[in-house]
Structure 1
Amino acid sequence: MNVNKNFSLLMIGQSFANIGDVLYMVSVISIIYDLKGSATAASFVPFTITTCMFISSLITPLLVGKIRLNGLMAGSQIGKTILLILLGFSLTGITVSTYYVVFIVIGIIAFLDGCANPIRQTLIPYYVKPEKLMKANGIAETVTQLIQAAMWFVGSMFLLILSPQQLIWFVGSLFIISSFLLCLLETVYAKTLESVRKIEQIQEGWKTLFHTPVLRKIGLMYLLESLAGTVWIAAVLYVFVSDALEVEQTWWGFINGVFFLGLILGSLYCIKYASYVESKLGTFLFAGAFFNFLLTIVFSLNSIPIFALVLSFCVGIFTQIKSIPQQTVIQTSVPKEQLSTVYTSLGAIGTGIFGVGSLLMGILTDLLGVRVVFVLSGFLLAFVSMIIYKNKSLFESNSYLGKGRS
């Protein structure tokens, strides 16, 4: 597909931000885990991040319509850059008694991310023609996951040559580049209802989710998948690698890396066969959820490190085969003017559940063992498969593209 200037700026700017996000997360998790030495303590990192993103998702609808969408994207990234510099200074002489400062800073950064993430998804339909959405989503996901795969592989290696503080400074330079590129995006205003109360603005996305049948089902799927996905956080994988696979801690980075490689392959498939995927949305959604359920159960029982990499790779493939069609369904199920509030509501579901779930899974890992939490994750994905199977006609009978759009 021919990629226009705004879509390119959005992808490149977000790419620099994504590289920085992974590197700074590697640094923070490493610091907290070294200081406290437990899965529960390390799990407070994603818990803090997702809780703040949840709060941000609730507040973001108040900004939509008053501030340019592209302005929100650029402004949030500039704010992250400033905060990251503060984080770099706060790492000087960090101890067990003062590490809470790190959580304060990463929490505010996460708050800004909670605003930017739904806006990024909303901007794509503004910058891309409707018939190109599937490919655009595929490209966006491919770029994102390629970066994630590469950075999870090499992120831990950075800590061998750089201190956590030096790594933060490097991330700051990436964030500066990202901020500059996002400032060049074409102006986009999201139209909202005039003269409505603030509470009604916040409720708008939730009402759309509730009154749109397919979005109502996707919202439930978001809830279950977000809870299931908490087993893949670094804090739990650290324990799985050491207790179940009995290998060095660096393997958690390898498992994450091959997972993102699988996401890339799934994205490339959706790009190459976009028309076919669009014609079988329900089938691809079900296949992705069902095979992820099976693969997660097998992963929980496995003790062979190399096989764990294969399973993680396959989980990535089927995750993306489900995710990209699902994004297209969301983007084309309502007029694009409503997308920002829909995405903030879905984001609130995902981040709220993921935040609480991350903490819960960290506790359950310490209490019951890491294999148990992976089995639990698998059965949650089984419920997602059942939801899709029972409502397959809802996805297959609607073309979405070209319908309900303004």
Structure 2
Amino acid sequence: MKRQSFYWLWTSQTMSNAADILYVTALTVLVLQGTESIVSTILVPFFRIFSQIVSGFLAPLMLRRFRLPRLMLLSQGGQFLFFAALAIYLRSAGDAYSLTAIFALVFGMSFLDGWTTPVRNALVPRLVEKNWLMRANGLISVSDQTVQFAGWGVSGVLVAFAGAPTTMMIAGILYAAAMLFTSWIREPQRREAGIEPPVDPVGTPLAEAAASSGSRREALLEGWKLIWHSRRLRALTLIDSIDMLGGSVWVGAFTLLFVQEALGQGEEWWGFINAAYFAGAVLGGLLVVALVKRLQDRLFLSMLVGISGYAALTILYAYTTLPAAALVLVLIMGPFAELSMVARRTLIQQSASEDDLPKVLSAQATVLNVIFCASLLGMAKLAESIGIVNLYVYAGGMSLIAFAIGAAVRGHFSARRTEEERTA
């Protein structure tokens, strides 16, 4: 039953992610055609990210009221209803639509979507056995990257040949299917009493470290307190945050600028680089799944290997001037990036109790979304100041700093393993 519910979760999220790409592509084209304004077009992803930041901050209030499968269903069902309202409005309004109405509906959809990833990642440890956790994370990562790899290209072709309205209709079908599969997820009975929740290396249970007083304010801060009081969670969040500061360098505008200025190629090579990056990520996810038995007992080391390999390849990529070499480097980069990401996600899931994990993941999602937005703005300014080549060197350097922090705090994780072996 546990494994079956994981497959429903995996399927629903794959469909929902595909629907997101189709709907964003179609909506962006519709807004651009209707307004002929780049600024209006940029507001679509802006409202999506901003609403997810707000949603992540308020998520603990919902986590107190709903079980995770119910909250996931509420999120998916709400997104479907908002999307249906958006599609009906666009169809009825024609060319006389209001951007305010569109952005309000986008905000509502994205607000609900902001719960999805932390709830999904918190559900996974409940739906699979402990020795299957890294494999499950790897499978989800493969599907995420596959959808990203194929989704943008397919959505562009669909919009070009079938039109934005038809693309929106297909997205609606996928949202409905995702909602249906989500309704089939069943959370198993809680684990048997007697199994102790994870403890910090100093011996303090995480739940006690951030006990809630029951107030809304305390509920909103609970995830942050859990992170602060756990040396492992604090270290992993810091590593994630620093890595994210450089991660936005792979946003389309920066890769296009690099292709044009550093490689001296046209837009077609921009497509090749993007395709190679996602293909490498898919390959990396498959390798993690294939090697999971060897990796799951060396999670922290796997994360460090992934970060260091990714950092080194990013710096090499920055200095290459040969398009073919750049393509190969980006392809090889994918497995290292996926190894780091899957290992880090698994470590986080293992570093908090089932009750605490959703709160921790919500707080982390809020932090990372804020950092991503700030990084985008900072990177744009930095690219103008130091040039696109040095921008990629900077990104690789940030990953090296994340690696150095990981190496410095490795004792926290070996202490945890010692504690587990002692209580086994």
TM category, shorter: 0.7 to 0.9
**Structure 2 residue 113 is matched with structure 1 residue 113:** yes
SS at match of 2:65: coil
**Alpha-carbon offset, residue 166 of structure 1:** 2.7
Q: Which moved more, 1:15-24 or 1:209-218?
A: 15-24
**Structure 2 residue 371 is matched with structure 1 residue 353:** yes
**Structure 2 residue 333 is matched with structure 1 residue 334:** no
**Corresponding residue number in structure 1 for 2:122:** 122
- Conserved 8 A contact 2:241-2:368: yes
Letter in 1 for 2:78: G
Are residues 72 and 79 of structure 1, via their aligned partners in 2, closer, same or farther at CA, if it must alter by over 3 Å?
Answer: same
Aligned equivalents of 2:359 and 2:350: distance in 1? 14
The structure 1 residue matched to 2:275, chosen from 249, 257, 278, is: 257
**Structure 2 residue 3 is matched with structure 1 residue 4:** yes
**Corresponding residue number in structure 2 for 1:15:** 14
**Corresponding residue number in structure 1 for 2:167:** 167
Alignment deviations for residues 36-58 of structure 1 (CA, whole Å, 9 cap, x no partner): 787x8866554432222111111
Q: Which moved more, 1:353-362 or 1:13-22?
A: 353-362
**Alpha-carbon offset, residue 14 of structure 1:** 0.8
- Conserved 8 A contact 2:69-2:185: yes
Aligned equivalents of 1:368 and 1:85: distance in 2? 45
Are residues 306 and 43 of structure 1, via their aligned partners in 2, closer, same or farther at CA, if it must alter by over 3 Å?
Answer: farther
Alignment deviations for residues 100-129 of structure 1 (CA, whole Å, 9 cap, x no partner): 655443333221121111000011111112
Aligned equivalents of 2:305 and 2:241: distance in 1? 19
**Alpha-carbon offset, residue 178 of structure 1:** 0.5
Aligned equivalents of 1:76 and 1:400: distance in 2? 39
SS at match of 1:4: helix
- Conserved 8 A contact 2:300-2:344: no
Aligned equivalents of 2:79 and 2:418: distance in 1? 36
| 1:263-274 correspondence runs (5 A) | 263-274=281-292
**Structure 2 residue 140 is matched with structure 1 residue 140:** yes
Higher normalized contact order (CA 8 Å, seq sep 6+, divided by chain length): 1
Are residues 294 and 195 of structure 1, via their aligned partners in 2, closer, same or farther at CA, if it must alter by over 3 Å?
Answer: closer
Are residues 334 and 211 of structure 1, via their aligned partners in 2, closer, same or farther at CA, if it must alter by over 3 Å?
Answer: same
Give identity over the alignment, percent. 25
**Structure 2 residue 320 is matched with structure 1 residue 302:** yes
Aligned equivalents of 2:113 and 2:22: distance in 1? 15
Aligned equivalents of 2:407 and 2:43: distance in 1? 35
**Alpha-carbon offset, residue 284 of structure 1:** 1.5
- Conserved 8 A contact 1:141-1:267: yes
Aligned equivalents of 1:318 and 1:164: distance in 2? 36
Letter in 2 for 1:130: K
Are residues 194 and 278 of structure 1, via their aligned partners in 2, closer, same or farther at CA, if it must alter by over 3 Å?
Answer: same
**Structure 2 residue 308 is matched with structure 1 residue 290:** yes
Letter in 2 for 1:222: D
Aligned equivalents of 1:368 and 1:362: distance in 2? 10
The structure 2 residue matched to 1:215, chosen from 224, 233, 239, is: 233
Q: Which moved more, 1:244-253 or 1:304-313?
A: 244-253
**Alpha-carbon offset, residue 332 of structure 1:** 1.1
Aligned equivalents of 1:144 and 1:377: distance in 2? 23
**Corresponding residue number in structure 2 for 1:48:** 47
**Structure 2 residue 179 is matched with structure 1 residue 179:** yes
**Alpha-carbon offset, residue 404 of structure 1:** 12
SS at match of 1:300: helix
Q: CA RMSD in A?
A: 3.3
Letter in 2 for 1:322: S
- Conserved 8 A contact 1:10-1:185: yes
**Corresponding residue number in structure 2 for 1:60:** 59
| 1:79-90 correspondence runs (5 A) | 79-88=78-87, 89-90=89-90
- Conserved 8 A contact 1:224-1:381: yes
Structure 1 residue ranges without an equivalent (≥5): none
Aligned equivalents of 2:270 and 2:23: distance in 1? 16
Alignment deviations for residues 61-95 of structure 1 (CA, whole Å, 9 cap, x no partner): 01113112111111111222222234444487669
Q: Which moved more, 1:114-123 or 1:70-79?
A: 70-79
Aligned equivalents of 2:263 and 2:348: distance in 1? 38
Are residues 154 and 252 of structure 1, via their aligned partners in 2, closer, same or farther at CA, if it must alter by over 3 Å?
Answer: farther
Aligned equivalents of 2:135 and 2:81: distance in 1? 34
Letter in 2 for 1:141: S
**Alpha-carbon offset, residue 197 of structure 1:** 0.5
Aligned equivalents of 1:262 and 1:400: distance in 2? 35
Letter in 1 for 2:140: A
**Structure 1 length normalisation: TM-score?**
0.87
**Alpha-carbon offset, residue 18 of structure 1:** 1.2
The structure 2 residue matched to 1:276, chosen from 291, 294, 303, is: 294
**Alpha-carbon offset, residue 165 of structure 1:** 3.3
Structure 2 residue ranges without an equivalent (≥5): 192-206
SS at match of 2:296: helix
- Conserved 8 A contact 1:43-1:359: no
- Conserved 8 A contact 1:241-1:248: yes
Aligned equivalents of 2:62 and 2:2: distance in 1? 29
Aligned equivalents of 2:401 and 2:95: distance in 1? 43
Letter in 2 for 1:171: A
The structure number with the bigger radius of gyration is 2
Aligned equivalents of 2:214 and 2:318: distance in 1? 49
Letter in 2 for 1:232: W
Aligned equivalents of 2:344 and 2:411: distance in 1? 15
